[in-house]
Every structure is written in C-alpha cells, then in structure tokens.
Amino acid sequence: MAQSADASKRLFLHIWLRDGEDSHIHNHRWDFTSTVLRGALRNTIVQVGPDGDGPLYTVVQHRPVEGGFRFDRTGGRPVHISSRHTVVQAEPVEYAMGALTLHRVQASYGTMTLVVRGAPWREWADVLIEAPVENGERPLIPLALEEREQHLRRALEVLG
C-alpha cells in the first residue's frame, strides 16, 4: 500500500487468493477507482429496502481496529434486496464506485486489481449479514513477506 503525502488517497494491490465471492454484501468507507490488471470481476450492485425478495439481512457496521476489524450490530436494521444488477469488469478496464454503493464481488483465483481509494469520510462500512453474528473484533490474517513479494512481482509483470 502507498499513500499520498496528505494521506487523502491510498493505492493498493488487491489479489483474490481463492475462487468465489466476497463473503457479504458490503459498501466502503471511501470512494474508489480500480483497474482490473488480470482476470475479471463480477460486481453485483444491490438496492435494499424493507420489502423485497430473498432472505432477510441485518445491516452491521464494520469498523477497522488495530490488527483487524470489528462488527457492531447495535441498531442493525433488517432489510431485503429490492433490486440487483451485475456488471462484469474484465482486464484491462477501470471502474469507479461510490462509498455507499452496496455490492458483492465475485472473482476467480489470481484476479488482480490496482485500487486508488479516497480518504475515508465515515468510520464504518455497512455489511449485510444473513446469519446471526456476534459483536466483536476479528483479526486480519497477514500474508507472509515472501508471498507479498511474489504477488508484487506478478503485478509488475502485468504492468510491463
């Protein structure tokens, strides 16, 4: 990760280390622009409301903490998906997304994006959870230095 001198923007490499989708529908604390360097993403953009189809979700706040993140269900409201729209972004494409856009991402192993995110403008992101979830902190699992170096080399190869 790199950041601008005033810390208003950060640049980071995002690599999917397994096939599948992000585990939950979510939004972010910041607006961002992303370039798909390798592979493709399927972003399913959703709208929520009290009525809709499918399962009932609880809106949970996701907050960063030292070494991980924290889920906070306090005041989490129940919602349904009222509409969805899937967009495929394949290499080499650039796309942008606003902080409040609720989405779920699917990508195959090795998909690689270069992300420029703006400064956070709130302290949490929203996550939609189907199953019961307990409040509390969860650790992030860092990659070993050798694995980070390997991924950075691959990104540099793609960038030429």
Rounded to two decimals, what is the model's pTM?
0.89
Instruction: Give the model confidence (pLDDT) of 68-127 as tens digits.
Output: 999 998 777 789 988 899 999 999 999 999 999 999 999 988 899 999 999 998 999 999
Residue keyed to tokens 């096939």: 19
Pair of tokens at residue 79: 């919602």
Instruction: Give the model confidence (pLDDT) of 17-67 as tens digits.
Output: 888 766 789 999 999 999 999 999 999 999 998 777 778 898 999 999 999
Pair of tokens at residue 2: 């790199």
What confidence score (pLDDT) does residue 4 get? 67
Question: Three-state DSSP class for 83?
Answer: strand
At 3, the pLDDT band (50, 70, 90 cuts) reads low
